[in-house]
Structure 1
Amino acid sequence: MSLQPYLASQNLHSAIDVVLDTAYQGISDDAWKKLFTRARQSGLEQFIEDMFAGKHINNSEDRPALHSALRNLTKTPVLINGADVMPAVAEVWHRIEALCNKWVGVTDVIHIGIGGSDFGPRLAIEALAHVPSIQSRGMRMHFLANIDTAELARILARAQPHSTRVIVVSKSFTTLETSMNAKAVVAWLKDSGCTKSQVAHALYAVTANIPAAKEFGVEENNIYPFWDWVGGRYSVWSAVGLPIALQYGFETFKQFLAGAEAMDLHFKNAPLEDNLPVIMALSLLYQQEKHNIKAYAAIPYADALDWFPKWLQQLDMESNGKSVDRNGNPVKHSSPVVFGSAGSNAQHSYFQLFHQGTEIIPIDFIAVREPMSDRPEAIAHHRILLSNCLAQAQALANGKAASNPNDVYPGKRPSNLLLLPKLNAFYLGALLALYENRTATLGALWNINSFDQPGVEYGKVLAKPIEKALASHQNDITASTDIDAVTATRINLLNS
């Protein structure tokens, strides 16, 4: 059915049958015009062109941000310093497809990574598991990220060592949590009776540091590269997404890439007034400047997308959680706090705050037209799910007057409705690319570099002397350059 009769309103926008409705944002026609003028004056159109052209928009690290090349299925040449990266990307696709065709008898896959090496593939595996009639190889896919051995123990208690494969994912291959977990899993394989050659056969790596992976013991044929122009939180489109192809087949992985590519082409080519990532970015910017919002929520009315807000937290807050701009000057606004979980469960958790709290928190309501199950009751249940989604948005926008103050809903709480025609690999890819491009747009509007993350490093540096002090088992640690008085007291408490 054509969407065109329903898109006459200026609040309704569509790309690849994904519909964005901004009617409850409370933004006037004149305000929208000013927002689009401001976007143009900020150089947003040039920024978009530069990003897809491989310009070094990651200025602090002097490199491109070209994750879009990883889903460029048309293989249109993408140049970095005059060299086309697409042959290398396509070679990885061929190797992934070949691996999908030859894996036989594997019962368990342990994917070891953290942050961007974990969230994307974990979200995709969880979401696609709910697609009715999806072809799956039925392997147990385990994601090991936390250095807490509780996660490690839970996985190893279920996995069968002689039919397990291990994928170690780290761009640098030096991430502490990943390397320690990988060593622990290798030790488990050996303790379970696997020979040296069996362990080597079981190990795979996805990394930009191939020498380090080989030194760890991964055979060269089992190493899948990705590149320094791919940020970790943007890397699910690379071999980091290997579990998606292994579990659901290479064609499903290609559909995931195709959805993202389709959204990229929309973002790259659509005028700003019709551009979904741009419109979503401008609406959030508007609410920041009008209401000084400090947080926003993403509420997918689909249990399959329960991991989506966790993925989005890293994407937005690691990309744009900055206090200075590209020139080192203080910024007035950057990323709000991001949170959310699946509706309608979320309504019974924190929606009280949305409706009657003192903070105004914009919401992205994400809904899917088709139910994610072929159960006989699916249609009736899905109708109730969608009615709850629409009702919450209406109540937040319009509010309710009452003589009893406890029953007053102030209303004027802004929200978007993002409507997917269905949830499959294609539209999952499109959804993730939509938010990636929205995040990049916000960074451009704030003049923030969305592609570095220096703030995550300092704590890692401080952890080293603290770990050394904990390992000493001494309870007379004193303050020093690396350990302040409060931390010294806490170390002594732990060592006592």
Structure 2
Amino acid sequence: MSLNTAVSDPKSVFSAADIVLDTAYQGIKQPEWQDLFAQAKKANLGQFIQDLFAGKHVNASEDRPALHSALRNLDKTPVIVDGQDVMPAVADVWHRIEALCNKWIGVTDVIHIGIGGSDFGPRLAIEALAHVPNIESRGMRMHFLANIDTADLGRILQRALPHSTRVIIVSKSFTTLETTKNAKAVVRWLKDSGRTESQINNALFAVTANVPAAKEFGVKPENIYPFWDWVGGRYSVWSAVGLPIALQYGFDTFKEFLAGAQAIDHHYQSAPLEQNLPVLMALSLLYQQEKHNIKSFAVIPYADALDWFPKWLQQLDMESNGKSVDRNGKPVKFSCPVVFGSSGSNAQHSYFQLLHQGKEVIPIDFIAIREPMSTLPEAKEHHRILLSNCLAQAQALANGKQTDNPNNTYPGKRPSNLLILPKLNAFYLGALLALYENRTTTLGALWNINSFDQPGVELGKVLAKPIETALRNGGKVNQDEHIDAITASRINLFNKT
């Protein structure tokens, strides 16, 4: 049996901010949808959404709000956190970003130093918007430095011109090891290039919630752009973390990016659950977990401009909801599946064999854009082929094909969503990212998981410190540092000459 029973059902097609969601290939019948909506209501999802936008302390483990939505609240509607409206401070950062854009002259290179949430969002946006036909760009080279591996550092420093380079250091805590080490290396490069201490200080900018640490590093106070502890790193591209977007493409483009996200926020807050895109996307994944016990989820944007989107989504989903216990410390039945993906049609020639004929059922979100992403003479023809592949893959996965040869049989019943963007520009990119942010937090609410903390990333960081010391000391392991026997032997492998 195929999943095409709802293909012509208008109840499977929804829209918000001109983005269309088609759930027809999920194979979810109307009575099953009603059961899912009942689950959402039982989980108090409506109240959760209200609390999220109202500044309630939905991040219970850290006793703080999760108010990334305030960063794109262009209407400046008051948002009260612990008795104080945060919007004047947010608006002040907007004004400062706009002012910096207006005086950012003669810059050839920008080195943006940050990792995780300080890197994925702005990197994705810069890459995606670079493909927008006729977008106004200021012509600077925007370099993203995240990994502690010096190969990336070396490549950037070979290309950048030190006397016309600006450096943006992005770290919420301003203590992230990779970021601070890379920042010190870039400062050393500027010194070695003959720049004076005053010139270096003028070239350094910081985006952080730890303003004193940025000052101590040597960043001038007027070059520090704050954000707040109620902004999670993976939700922070809407803050001054997104500064590269404004610097590269202009402040008006950055505002369009925020406006697209705000449009989805308005929809998420006001639309009934039965027509709410983030809720429908979350419930469809929950359904596949309950029906197929799925362990993985794929997102395939049929747009090369969005090739970084699955990487951004990996952090958003798995760092937010990759938990084994709920808000009350009790084991959960379901949490975040493994997220992967890449741009179509490249993906078809990579892992689609597994999607079609593998033993595991893997739900997919297909993302398509109505308009081609270039003005070349071949653009319309190529884009038509691209879209036909997107639609064909979804149909083949859903319906399958039965033959007498098991090797050529496709089991079908592989569920998917289709998202259609009218075009890819700053507005719709912002809307797309906010759509998935709200879907992720909806899933957290349905699983009763805190989507706004990430304690699981800390243990490895703690253990890395004594291991680095042992590597530096020729393999000598301090027995008090909790380095186990296997790791101690591996340290010696690296110290052998």
Q: TM-score, normalised by structure 2?
A: 0.98
Give the whole-Å Cα distance in 2 for the aligned partners of 1:184 and 1:477: 28
Alignment of 1:60-139 (within 5 A): 60-139=61-140
The residue that corresponds to 2:482 in the other structure is 482
Give the whole-Å Cα distance in 2 for the aligned partners of 1:400 and 1:186: 60
Deviation at 1:473, TM superposition (A): 1.1
Aligned length: 490
Alignment of 1:110-259 (within 5 A): 110-259=111-260
Deviation at 1:477, TM superposition (A): 3.8
Deviation at 1:16, TM superposition (A): 1.2
Alignment of 1:9-408 (within 5 A): 9-408=10-409
Deviation at 1:390, TM superposition (A): 0.1
- Contact kept in structure 1, 2:318 and 2:336, CA below 8 Å: yes
- Contact kept in structure 1, 2:26 and 2:416, CA below 8 Å: yes
Letter in 2 for 1:23: A
Give the whole-Å Cα distance in 2 for the aligned partners of 1:386 and 1:480: 59
Give the whole-Å Cα distance in 2 for the aligned partners of 1:8 and 1:467: 59
Deviation at 1:472, TM superposition (A): 0.2
The residue that corresponds to 1:451 in the other structure is 452
Give the whole-Å Cα distance in 2 for the aligned partners of 1:438 and 1:166: 34
- Contact kept in structure 2, 1:395 and 1:411, CA below 8 Å: yes
- Contact kept in structure 2, 1:287 and 1:293, CA below 8 Å: yes
Q: CA RMSD in A?
A: 1.0
Q: Does 1:493 align with 2:497?
A: no
Give the whole-Å Cα distance in 1 for the aligned partners of 2:28 and 2:350: 28
Deviation at 1:480, TM superposition (A): 5.3
Letter in 2 for 1:85: V
The residue that corresponds to 1:425 in the other structure is 426
- Contact kept in structure 1, 2:57 and 2:66, CA below 8 Å: yes
The residue that corresponds to 2:4 in the other structure is none
Structure 2 gaps of 5+ residues are 1-6
- Contact kept in structure 2, 1:477 and 1:489, CA below 8 Å: no
Listed one character per residue, the Cα deviations across residues 385-423 of structure 1 (whole Å, up to 9, x for unaligned) are 000000000000000011111100000000000000100
Q: Secondary structure at the match of 1:227?
A: coil
Deviation at 1:41, TM superposition (A): 1.1
Deviation at 1:8, TM superposition (A): 6.8
The residue that corresponds to 1:3 in the other structure is none
Q: Secondary structure at the match of 1:60?
A: helix
Deviation at 1:481, TM superposition (A): 4.9
Listed one character per residue, the Cα deviations across residues 38-73 of structure 1 (whole Å, up to 9, x for unaligned) are 101110000000000000000000000000000000
- Contact kept in structure 2, 1:115 and 1:233, CA below 8 Å: yes
Q: Secondary structure at the match of 1:51?
A: helix
Give the whole-Å Cα distance in 1 for the aligned partners of 2:223 and 2:161: 20
Q: Secondary structure at the match of 1:30?
A: helix
Letter in 2 for 1:272: L
Deviation at 1:341, TM superposition (A): 0.1
Give the whole-Å Cα distance in 1 for the aligned partners of 2:336 and 2:39: 19
Give the whole-Å Cα distance in 2 for the aligned partners of 1:228 and 1:480: 34
Deviation at 1:482, TM superposition (A): 1.5
Give the whole-Å Cα distance in 2 for the aligned partners of 1:103 and 1:68: 28
Letter in 2 for 1:78: V
Q: Secondary structure at the match of 1:204?
A: strand
- Contact kept in structure 2, 1:320 and 1:443, CA below 8 Å: yes
- Contact kept in structure 2, 1:245 and 1:253, CA below 8 Å: yes
Structure 1 gaps of 5+ residues are 1-5
Letter in 1 for 2:442: T
- Contact kept in structure 2, 1:479 and 1:488, CA below 8 Å: no
Deviation at 1:279, TM superposition (A): 0.1
Q: Secondary structure at the match of 2:10?
A: coil
Listed one character per residue, the Cα deviations across residues 449-496 of structure 1 (whole Å, up to 9, x for unaligned) are 00000000010000000000000013x547655200000000011112
Q: Secondary structure at the match of 1:417?
A: strand
Give the whole-Å Cα distance in 1 for the aligned partners of 2:374 and 2:203: 35
Letter in 2 for 1:329: K
The residue that corresponds to 1:469 in the other structure is 470
- Contact kept in structure 1, 2:477 and 2:483, CA below 8 Å: no
Give the whole-Å Cα distance in 1 for the aligned partners of 2:307 and 2:158: 25
Give the whole-Å Cα distance in 1 for the aligned partners of 2:274 and 2:247: 39
Give the whole-Å Cα distance in 1 for the aligned partners of 2:241 and 2:285: 30
Give the whole-Å Cα distance in 2 for the aligned partners of 1:121 and 1:354: 30
The residue that corresponds to 2:440 in the other structure is 439
Listed one character per residue, the Cα deviations across residues 266-289 of structure 1 (whole Å, up to 9, x for unaligned) are 000000000000000000000001
% identical equivalent positions: 79
Q: TM-score, normalised by structure 1?
A: 0.98
The verdict on how the C-alpha distance between 1:132 and 1:37 changes in structure 2, with shifts beyond 3 A counting, is same
- Contact kept in structure 1, 2:9 and 2:24, CA below 8 Å: no
